[in-house]
Amino acid sequence: MNLQDKGCHPIRIKKTGPARGNRRSYMTEQAANAGGAMPGTQAFEEAMRSAWKMPAFSPWGASAPTGQAPSPTFESALRSLSGLKIDPAELLAIQTDYLREAAQVWNQRLSADAAATPIKDRRFAGEQWLSNPVAGYAAAVYLLNARTLARMAEAVQGDEKTRARVRFAVQQWIDAAAPSNYLALNPEALQKAISTQGESLVSGVRNLIGDLRQGHVSQTDESVFEVGRNVATSEGAVVFENEYFQLLEYKPLTPKVHARPMLFVPPCINKFYILDLQPENSLIRYTVEQGHRVFVVSWRNPDDGMAARTWDDYVEHGVIQALRTVQDISGSAQVNALGFCVGGTLLACALAVLAARGEQPAASVTLLTTFLDFSRTGVLDLFIDEDMVRLREMSIGAQAAQGPKLLKGKELATTFSFLRPNELVWNYVVGNYLKGELPPPFDLLYWNSDSTNLPGPMYCWYLRNTYLEDKLKQPGALTVCGESVDLRTIQAPVYLYASREDHIVPWESAYLSTGILSGPKRFVLGASGHIAGVINPPAKKKRNYWLCDAQPDSAAEWFAQAQEHPGSWWPDWAGWLQGHAGALKAAPKAFGNKTHPAIEPAPGRYVQQKA
């Protein structure tokens, strides 16, 4: 249908058009008719107010406690909105450009070939968005408004952290406001409802009720997976357990193994089986196949009885106990140790404590996407300031009036999902609820939904001393387990891996570890993000990685000199690790030893506990 045949006409900005004084109001009206008024400071502040209440930005996380008054951080954030300033000349330029682009959108959407002009956004790439002129126009106007609001956020005056928070908050609101997220505005969902005679809407309501019961948006068909049955299936046994973790030992897959065993320390904010999803993408199995005797820490999912546990507890009774147990079982004075994300931070802290006690148990250290220097923490820095940390300490930490509490896993999961809301939230809202579809089974997203709790005092210590005050890298600035922490005293050679598109541990920040640790270092940069970059088995022949023997002060200088290599970084790490693993000897025929016999088959009970 040609809209011009129905009495609609394109806007033309020329002298014969509306009078100069009326042109602005005329074009503003056209934009408003399409569902979006021309952004001004009032609309901008309203976007900020709405976004600040979202789970990702609220200082309370997923939800405020019942009856709880707004936090000081929330109140001060809202008060600061009235003080946002944009240079008047810049605002005028933004609004002038908006009017010009609004006219272009109107003219383009009225043209006869509008249906043949795809919108360059995957949310609106479907055929129905092209064939339905109203929907196509709504999407185009939304994208125009989104660009304009984002440009206004960039123009806000203030210190860099305030400006970054404004940009993030406005982007949250922009993503939530997409017409694709609403049934009445989504032509694909409406068409499916018609073609299925409403069955898709019934399925969508059923999916919504199911997600409300389980407490999170389904990102995969969780019914397909079961820990120990089709994820975390590498053969092994639990050979030690205490209140904090179970230690898993894996069955050798080679007749001989290296004399020095391998200990994996995964993050305690997730479950260990990200390293053992399926046999074909398991870093644990790959390491076993290389002839290593592999042990893995499986952190307990804390319950209320562990709410008062501290960072010191996790270092002493977690990582240090795991190191000592592996030494005892293997008979080797030194072990190779790998830490992933916050597991790497815990591992480095533990090794520094042991160094202060005169011990050097690590023959080598591998740190995957790990912070040691917290001066540049990327998007996570938006959530950290003195008010926020103090609030956490008073609500769930050691200073809580009614005693320490757990940081719930659902809250952490929600926050991390809203760091990438289009991919990890709204995409599933549209599919699960508006279209009534079940997301396809995906092992990594099943793991992602299997959240874990954290003890409040442990979490608050981590927030204050690393993210807020950045003390870990400062020699002697922290006392952990009664010892002064100095990361320079760790003598082991170190393999540092970072992912180029990591939004949780930016690779440039991971590179700063090269200036902190004293031993010989190898820095490797992989493609993709925080998880997908790490879980990149060689057989898939996917992605690439960068290497450079030199380690200049600047990450940018390192990258300029680095050589790109195709495929996975795993073989490079395996070759490096072999040089620190010791001679080969006959593989053990049983798990553990007399002191630490097998308790139960891997993956053990702890990983089965739900948050």
User: Can you tell me the distance from the alpha carbon of 378 to that of 426, in angstroms, rounded to the nearest whole number?
Assistant: 23
Backbone angles phi, psi at 440, to 5 degrees: -70, 155
* Residue whose token pair is 């200088």: 557
Residues 6+ apart with CB under 8 A from 458: 309, 310, 311, 313, 314
- d(CA 247, CA 270) in angstroms, rounded, equals 16
**Which residue is it, tokens 């990438």?**
420
Among residues 161, 165, 143, the alpha carbon closest in space to that of 31 is found at 143
Q: Classify residue 7 as left (phi > 0), alpha (psi -120 to 50) or beta.
A: left
Query: What distance separates the 2 farthest-apart alpha carbons in the chain?
Result: 95
Tokens describing residue 81: 């909105």
Catalytic residue list contains 460: no
Gap between the terminal Cα atoms of the chain: 54
**563 bridge partner residues:** 547
**What is the Cα–Cα distance from 9 to 253, expressed in whole angstroms?**
73
- Helix runs in 197-356, H state only: 199-214, 283-289, 311-313, 321-330, 342-356
Angle between helices 72-81 and 386-395 (to 10 degrees): 150
Instruction: Write a three-state SS string for 337-374.
Output: EEEECHHHHHHHHHHHHHHHCCCCCEEEEEEECCCCCC
* SS3 of residue 564 by DSSP: strand
DSSP state of 126: S
CB atoms under 10 Å from CB of 33, counted, come to 12
Dihedral (CA of 140, 141, 144, 150) sign: negative
Please state whether 241 falls in left (phi above 0), alpha (psi between -120 and 50) or beta. Answer: beta
The helix (run of H) or strand (run of E) holding residue 250 is strand 245-250
Alpha helices in 215-331 (DSSP H): 283-289, 311-313, 321-330
Measure the CA–CA gap between 523 and 563, rounded to whole angstroms. 12
Of 589, 597, 360, 382, nearest to 468 by C-alpha is 382
| Catalytically annotated residue among 8, 268, 341, 349 | 341
Q: Is 263 exposed, middle or buried (0-12, 13-18, 19+ CB in 10 A)?
A: buried
CB 311 within 8 A of CB 466: no
Which candidate, 87, 83, 111, places its Cα nearest to that of 4?
Answer: 111
Q: What's the sign of the alpha-carbon dihedral 70, 73, 76, 82?
A: negative
Evaluate whether 208 touches 183 at the Cβ level (below 8 Å).
no
Catalytic residues: 341
